[in-house]
Amino acid sequence: MSSQYQEHKFAKLFEYFDTDQDGVINQSDLDALAQSWCVEFSVPPRTPEWQQITDRVNELWHKLVEYADGDDQVTRDEWVAAALNPQFVHDVAIPFGMAAFDVGDRDHDGKMSAEEAVAGQIAGGHSVEESQRSFAAIDTDGDGFITRDEYRRSLEEFYTSEDPEAAGNALVGRF
């Protein structure tokens, strides 16, 4: 059973993925989001990094359609239902989030600086203020970097926690 709070935060994430703001998520929304990250981080087309994020976007899309009604667009309610499904979170949402982390980790050292993390969130449509607040919440040890482990924990927390104070909720900004 989901809480109203979980449904609310997943609806906020829906807005993030619905890049053209037409009320549904389709393949072009996810492609646009991935390409905005690739442009922000100067990831050239057809490189291994570009292929990784493109593959994850395609995987997210195909799995998302499986969790929806199969009509090549995903409504807010369909998205929320998928986000509440632990199998979807484990098999699709977390790997997609980690692929985004890898794109943002420009020097491939397993961590993102504040500059890298904030740039990635801004490319996805967050404000500078939201992005900085998100970084501070996810950098749980306060060392000025978000490690792969910290990011994975924040993703897991975002999808599974009903606690409004959970640090992982900062991934989608204020709501």
Give the pLDDT mean for 157-174. Answer: 86
Look at residue 175 in the predicted model and tell me its pLDDT.
Answer: 56
Residue 168 lies in a domain: no
Residue 169 lies in a domain: no
d(CA 153, CA 149): 6
Q: Which residue(s) pair with 25 in the sheet?
A: 74
Q: Domain count of the chain?
A: 1
Per-residue model confidence as pLDDT tens digits over 90-132 = 988 898 888 888 888 888 899 999 988 888 787 767 788 888 8
For residue 147, the SS3 value is strand
Residue-wise over 5-40: b if at least 16 C-beta within 10 A, else e? ebbebbbebbbbbbbeeeebbbbebbeebbbbbbeb
Residue 71 lies in a domain: yes
Angle between helices 114-123 and 94-104 (to 10 degrees): 120
Per-residue model confidence as pLDDT tens digits over 23-76 = 999 999 999 988 888 888 888 999 988 888 888 888 888 888 888 888 889 999
Residue 121 lies in a domain: yes
Domain coverage including residue 125? 4-161
Helices (H) and strands (E) in the chain, counts: 9, 2
Please report, for the domain that includes residue 50, its CATH number.
1.10.238.10
